[in-house]
Structure formats: structure tokens, C-alpha cells
């Protein structure tokens, strides 16, 4: 069994229970509540498959689950590769901050967090993020909408999650400013697209007709 001393790297996958009406709400008008939830689950499973292929010494993979009561449910469909813990209460900044705090308290030296909206995250890219944290204090994966699909830290920077305009075109910019103000050396990964709205969905289907092309056929009736 791996001890805390062996857990040098921790990958956090923030995931929600795919409950209709609670996920991918900007796509409900097109897909319906159940269709949007189904798409969310397909996105999460794709990200989990890619993340699960990452193999590194001392790496632990953890699903950070919302709501807390869905831990068993999410564990069942993500599989045993991932530990499952509950997300803290609060806004996204508080939830991210709490997960990083717990990871560093457990002895992790490099911590990377991703969500489930970017299916172009690969094991190679995740490995690159951890490698960057051997040279830099922080690593960010810019999203094309102005946010980020990945954040990694080599030591605690609570200010990276404080007073951030979440879900806005300034999310990445302000996060970089907070990290720079705290003296962090920042590395950047390639920019990728999240799937949030109908335009993103159309591009996703074009790039990945299987399995996501099915979403086009499951519009709201």
C-alpha cells in the first residue's frame, strides 16, 4: 500500500454527479436536461480514461466529487483507478483551495487539478504539467474562452483562488496576476477548448464524431 511519503504527485479530477438539470445547463435548451447530463457523463468518462492512462512513480489520482453524497455513485462509473473524496462547500475557488490544501497537507510535492470539460487533455499533456512543476511553482493550461482547463502547483498559493472572476474571460488573466504577485514562477501549457455552450459542442462533434456525435442526435424533443 502506498504511504503518504510515497505520494509525491497528486492528480485531482473535479467531477460532478451527472444529474439532469445540474450539469451542462447552457446546453439544456438544445439537448434537454437528460441529454445534457448524458453528455456531461460522456465528457467525464473520456477525461477519466485519458487521465487513467498516466503512469508516474508516486502518482495518486483522486476524483473530487460534488455533491458529497454522490461519492459511491461517481466511484462506480469512474472505476477503481481514482480515489474519491468530497468537494468542500463554497464557490469554485474555495473548493479548489480546499483540495490543494489537503493534498499538500498529505505530503504531495506536485498537485495538478483538471475538470471534465476539456476532452483534449491527454496523458502526455498531464505528464508535461507535472514535469513543469519540477522547474516552476505553478502551471496553467489556458482555455480558449479565457479560463483554464488545468492548474498545478508545486507549493501552496492560496491567493491563486481568491477573488477570481470565475467563468469569465478574465479568469486566467487574474489567476496569473495573483500567482505573479505571490512570487510564483509560472509555466503555460498549450491552449485548449472547454465544452460549455452550443458552439463548443458543435466543434466537439466535428473533432470527435465518436462518441460525441451522438449528442447531435439526442436533441430535446
Q: What pLDDT shows up at residue 3?
A: 55
Is residue 47 assigned to a domain?
A: yes
Q: What pLDDT shows up at residue 79?
A: 84
Q: What pLDDT shows up at residue 199?
A: 94
Mean of pLDDT values over 144-157: 97
State pLDDT tens for residues 40-86.
999 999 999 999 999 999 999 999 999 999 999 998 888 888 999 99
Q: How confident is the model at residue 211 (pLDDT cuts 50, 70, 90)?
A: confident
Phi, psi of 136 (to 5 degrees): -115, 165
Mean of pLDDT values over 171-179: 98
Name the residue among 96, 76, 82, 151 with its Cα closest to residue 121.
151
Q: What pLDDT shows up at residue 87?
A: 95
Q: What pLDDT shows up at residue 49?
A: 94
CATH code (residue 195): 3.90.550.10
From CA 136, how far away is CA 133, in angstroms rounded?
5
Least confident interval from 4-18, 81-95, 110-124, 202-216: 202-216
Q: Are 116 and 163 in contact (CB under 8 A)?
A: no
Q: What pLDDT shows up at residue 75?
A: 87
From CA 27, how far away is CA 148, in angstroms rounded?
20
Is residue 76 assigned to a domain?
A: yes
Mean of pLDDT values over 113-132: 97
The tally of domains found in the chain comes to 1
- 155 CB neighbour count, 10 Å cutoff: 13
Percent of the chain with pLDDT over 70: 93
Q: Are 95 and 116 in contact (CB under 8 A)?
A: no
How many CA atoms within 13 Å lie on the side-chain side of 31? 28
Q: How confident is the model at residue 150 (pLDDT cuts 50, 70, 90)?
A: very high
Mean of pLDDT values over 210-216: 65
Task: List alpha helices for 80-208, DSSP H.
Answer: 92-105, 123-132, 171-181, 198-207
Q: Are 167 and 147 in contact (CB under 8 A)?
A: yes
Q: How confident is the model at residue 216 (pLDDT cuts 50, 70, 90)?
A: low
Q: Are 9 and 58 in contact (CB under 8 A)?
A: yes
| Residue 64 belongs to domain spanning | 4-216
Is residue 221 assigned to a domain?
A: no
- Please state, rounded to an integer, the average pLDDT across all residues of the chain: 92
Q: Which residues contact 177 (CB under 8 A, 6 or more apart)?
A: none
Segment holding 212, helix H or strand E: helix 209-212
Q: What pLDDT shows up at residue 76?
A: 87
Mean of pLDDT values over 105-132: 97
From CA 201, how far away is CA 50, in angstroms rounded?
19
Query: Would you list the DSSP string of 34-95?
Result: HHHHHHHHHHHHHHHHHHHT---TTEEEEEEEESGGGHHHHHHHH-TTSEEEEPPSSSHHHH
From CA 34, how far away is CA 32, in angstroms rounded?
6
Pairing type for strands 148-153 and 110-114 reads: antiparallel
Segment holding 33, helix H or strand E: helix 28-52
Q: How confident is the model at residue 217 (pLDDT cuts 50, 70, 90)?
A: very low
Amino acid at each position: 500500500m502506498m504511504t503518504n511519503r510515497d505520494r509525491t504527485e497528486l492528480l485531482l479530477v473535479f467531477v460532478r454527479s451527472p444529474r439532469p438539470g445540474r450539469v451542462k445547463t447552457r446546453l439544456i435548451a438544445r439537448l434537454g436536461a437528460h441529454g445534457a447530463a448524458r453528455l456531461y457523463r460522456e465528457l467525464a468518462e473520456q477525461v477519466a480514461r485519458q487521465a487513467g492512462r498516466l503512469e508516474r512513480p508516486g502518482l495518486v489520482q483522486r476524483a473530487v466529487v460534488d455533491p458529497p453524497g454522490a461519492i459511491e455513485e461517481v466511484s462506480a462509473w469512474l472505476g477503481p483507478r481514482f480515489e474519491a473524496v468530497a468537494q468542500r462547500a463554497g464557490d469554485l475557488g474555495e473548493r479548489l483551495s480546499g483540495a490543494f490544501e489537503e493534498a499538500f497537507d498529505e505530503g504531495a510535492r506536485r498537485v495538478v487539478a483538471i475538470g471534465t470539460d476539456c476532452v483534449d487533455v491527454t496523458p502526455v499533456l498531464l505528464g508535461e504539467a507535472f514535469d513543469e512543476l519540477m522547474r516552476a511553482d505553478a502551471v496553467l493550461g489556458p482555455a480558449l474562452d479565457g479560463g483554464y482547463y488545468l492548474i498545478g502547483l508545486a507549493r501552496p498559493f492560496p491567493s491563486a483562488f481568491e477573488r477570481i472572476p470565475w467563468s469569465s474571460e478574465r479568469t486566467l488573466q487574474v489567476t496569473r496576476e495573483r500567482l505573479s504577485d505571490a512570487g510564483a514562477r509560472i509555466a503555460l501549457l498549450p491552449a485548449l477548448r472547454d465544452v460549455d455552450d452550443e458552439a463548443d459542442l458543435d466543434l466537439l462533434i466535428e473533432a470527435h464524431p465518436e462518441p460525441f456525435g451522438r449528442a447531435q442526435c439526442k436533441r430535446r424533443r
